[in-house]
Amino acid sequence: MAAPLVLVILVAVTVRAVLYRSSLAAFISERVEVASPLNAWKRVVEGLALLDLGVSPYSGAIFHETPLIIYLFHFLIEYAELVFMFKKQKLLIELDKYAPDVAELIRTPMEMHYIPLKVALFVNLLLHIHVSSALNTQFESEKQKFFQSYLLNPYTVMSCVAKSTCTINNTVIAFFILATIKGSAFLSAVFLALATYQSLYPLTLFAPALLYLLQRQFIPVKLKSKSFWLYTMQYAALYLCSLVVIICLSFFLLNSWDFIPSVYGFILSVPDLTPNIGLFWYFFAEMFEHFSLFFVCVFQINVFFYTIPLAVKLKEHPVFFMFVQIAIISIFKSYPTVGDIALYMAFLPVWSHLYRFLRNIFILSCVLIVCSLLFPVLWHLWIYAGSANSNFYYAITLTFNIGQILLVSDYFYAFLRREYYLTHGLYLTRQDGTEAMLVLK
CA 47 vs. chain centroid, Å, equals 26
Q: pLDDT per residue over 337-377, tens digit each?
A: 999 998 898 888 888 888 888 988 889 989 999 999 999 99
- pTM (predicted TM-score): 0.83
- Rounded to the nearest 5°, which phi and psi values hold at 362? -65, -45
pLDDT band for 108, please (50, 70, 90 cuts).
low
d(CA 83, CA 71): 14
> According to the model, what pLDDT value does residue 17 have?
82
> According to the model, what pLDDT value does residue 125 have?
33
Q: pLDDT per residue over 16-29, tens digit each?
A: 888 888 888 888 88
Report the Cα–Cα distance between both ends of the chain, in Å, rounded: 41
- What ranges do the domains of the chain cover? 2-31+81-373+408-424
Q: pLDDT per residue over 165-181, tens digit each?
A: 888 898 899 899 989 99
Which of 117 and 144 is assigned the larger pLDDT?
A: 117
What is the average pLDDT value for the chain, to the nearest integer? 81
> According to the model, what pLDDT value does residue 4 have?
66
Sort residue 361 into left (φ over 0), alpha (ψ -120 to 50) or beta: alpha
186 pLDDT exceeds 60? yes
CB 321 within 8 A of CB 310: yes
pLDDT band for 110, please (50, 70, 90 cuts).
low
